[in-house]
């Protein structure tokens, strides 16, 4: 029996209730391990069709490989060329310098990224008839993208989370964290044990909170930049990836930083006594699977539909520790997902504050340049 037939039979048994969920997820993982990571050199040497997918690396990419890419290749024969990036600006620079069709699907963060790609003429237009599993997605997550692209879609929502504050309970108590909130990141008593992501949006968002301002509408930018500078001066370093974030906390090189909810949950699963707090107006975000202009649309749409299938999406979510975009009022998400940070059992997501794309994209040129100067000591 070939891998495609084996996968399809297992999927049918699972959907019919004849196979326990744990056993089915085990088969998904085995398929992912069998196919593993496909490098660009290997993929281009083969005659088989392929789709390139770029994401955030670490536990996130591991979840995609094990529970989505491997089983998808087993089912369809289409290879997934798996690349990674450390940040949205870095990836966009690569895309701008590439040939049409070189990059296909990206795991983008935030509606502002979606708007940027549309504004630059890099967007595709999905045929939603080829993605029937879109019906399971939280409507609010879909509608915000439609608003940017005149009712059409160039992506499907896939997961959401928060960038909150992670702290080592050996050195910082829950009570101290509740008392200080975002201001703990500019606490002089923590000098040299603070860190943060070297991303201009994140630095401005938390500086807005530290100065008592709306992160989607700060009016005193001088105060914001002063807070950014203070955080820089008190910090051990800026981290550049989720893997580095986890290493800094696990090795106790730092005691507090803002961090991505799923990565902090992964540390907690590993046994580290790391607390996590979303301060008022904390940074909520959603991620999408964005298809770039010039991509092989039929194959990309097939992959998106496969990844939105509840059994695949839930397995990936459990692997990467971010809630899926699936509507919990339509889909039983199992036992683990409701325990993840940021999870909303109603699907309304009313407790999350998302970045206003018009505000952030409208200030990108000036603020990203200014943050570059601040990083260098200005």
**What is residue 29's predicted lDDT score, i.e. its pLDDT?**
53
- DSSP letters for 150-208: TT--SEEEEEEEEEEEEEETTTS-HHHHHHHGGGGGG-GGGTTSEEEE--HHHHHHHHH
Query: Please, which residues bridge with residue 87 across strands?
Result: none
Please count the CA atoms within 13 angstroms of the CA of 15 that sit on its side-chain side.
Answer: 10
Q: Any alpha helices (H) in the chain, and if so which ranges? A: 3-15, 21-35, 40-45, 58-64, 70-76, 88-96, 111-119, 139-148, 174-180, 200-210, 221-234, 242-250, 261-269, 297-308, 310-320, 357-375
Q: How far apart are CA 245 and CA 373, in angstroms?
A: 23
| pTM, rounded to two decimals | 0.81
**What is residue 2's predicted lDDT score, i.e. its pLDDT?**
54
**What is residue 14's predicted lDDT score, i.e. its pLDDT?**
52
pLDDT in tens, 230-287: 999 999 999 999 999 999 999 999 999 999 999 999 999 999 999 999 999 999 999 9
Domains identified in the chain and CATH numbers = 3-160+285-354 (3.40.190.10), 162-284+355-375 (3.40.190.10)
Q: How far apart are CA 360 and CA 351, in angstroms?
A: 20
Helical axes 297-308 vs 310-320, angle rounded to 10°:
70
Contacts of 244 (CB under 8 A, 6+ apart): none
Helix (H, G, I), strand (E, B) or coil at 138: coil
**What is residue 351's predicted lDDT score, i.e. its pLDDT?**
86
Which residue, among 255, 217, 258, has the nearest Cα to 236 in the 3D structure? 255
Please count the CA atoms within 13 angstroms of the CA of 23 that sit on its side-chain side.
Answer: 9
Structure tokens at 196: 């943060």
Query: End-to-end alpha-carbon separation of the chain, Å?
Result: 64
**What is residue 32's predicted lDDT score, i.e. its pLDDT?**
47
Q: How do 283-291 and 353-354 pair as beta strands?
A: parallel
Structure tokens at 236: 């051990």
**What is residue 12's predicted lDDT score, i.e. its pLDDT?**
57
pLDDT mean values, one per 10 residues, the chain (378 residues): 54 54 53 43 46 91 92 92 89 95 94 93 97 97 94 97 97 98 98 97 98 97 98 97 95 98 95 96 95 96 96 94 96 96 93 91 96 95
**What is residue 49's predicted lDDT score, i.e. its pLDDT?**
85
Contacts of 273 (CB under 8 A, 6+ apart): 168, 169, 170
- DSSP letter assigned to residue 254: -
* Residue 178, Cβ density class (10 Å: 0-12 exposed, 13-18 middle, ≥19 buried): exposed
**What is residue 23's predicted lDDT score, i.e. its pLDDT?**
55
């Amino acid at each position: 029996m070939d891998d495609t037939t084996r996968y399809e039979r297992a999927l049918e048994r699972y959907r019919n209730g004849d196979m326990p969920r744990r056993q089915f997820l085990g088969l998904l993982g085995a398929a992912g391990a069998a196919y593993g990571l496909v490098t660009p050199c290997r993929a281009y040497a083969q005659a088989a069709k392929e789709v390139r997918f770029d994401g955030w690396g670490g536990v996130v990419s591991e979840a995609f490989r094990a529970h989505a890419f491997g089983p998808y290749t087993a089912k369809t024969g289409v290879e997934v060329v798996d690349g990674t990036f450390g940040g949205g600006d870095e990836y966009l620079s690569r895309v701008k310098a590439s040939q049409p069709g070189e990059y296909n699907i990206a795991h983008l963060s935030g509606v502002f990224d979606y708007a940027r790609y549309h504004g630059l003429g890099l967007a595709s237009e999905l045929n939603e008839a080829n993605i029937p599993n879109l019906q399971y997605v939280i409507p609010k997550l879909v509608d915000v993208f439609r608003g940017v692209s005149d009712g059409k879609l160039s992506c499907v929502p896939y997961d959401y989370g928060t960038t909150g504050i992670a702290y080592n309970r050996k050195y910082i108590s829950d009570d101290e964290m509740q008392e200080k909130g975002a201001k703990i990141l500019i606490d002089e008593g923590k000098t040299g044990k603070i860190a943060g992501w070297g991303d201009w949006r994140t630095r401005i968002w938390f500086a807005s909170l530290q100065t008592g301002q709306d992160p989607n509408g700060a009016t005193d930018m001088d105060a914001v930049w002063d807070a950014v500078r203070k955080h820089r001066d008190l910090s051990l370093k800026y981290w550049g990836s989720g893997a580095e974030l986890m290493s800094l906390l696990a090795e106790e090189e730092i005691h507090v930083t803002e961090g991505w909810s799923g990565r902090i949950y992964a540390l907690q699963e590993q046994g580290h006594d790391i607390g996590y707090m979303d301060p008022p107006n904390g940074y909520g975000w959603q991620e999408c699977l964005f298809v770039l202009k010039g991509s092989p649309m039929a194959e990309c749409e097939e992959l998106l539909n496969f990844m939105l299938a509840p059994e695949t999406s839930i397995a990936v979510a459990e692997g990467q520790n971010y809630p899926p975009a699936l509507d919990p009022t339509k889909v039983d998400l199992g036992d683990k997902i409701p325990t993840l940070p940021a999870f909303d059992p109603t699907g309304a997501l009313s407790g999350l504050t998302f970045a206003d794309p018009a505000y952030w994209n409208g200030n990108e040129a000036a603020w990203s340049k200014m943050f570059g100067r601040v990083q260098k000591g200005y």
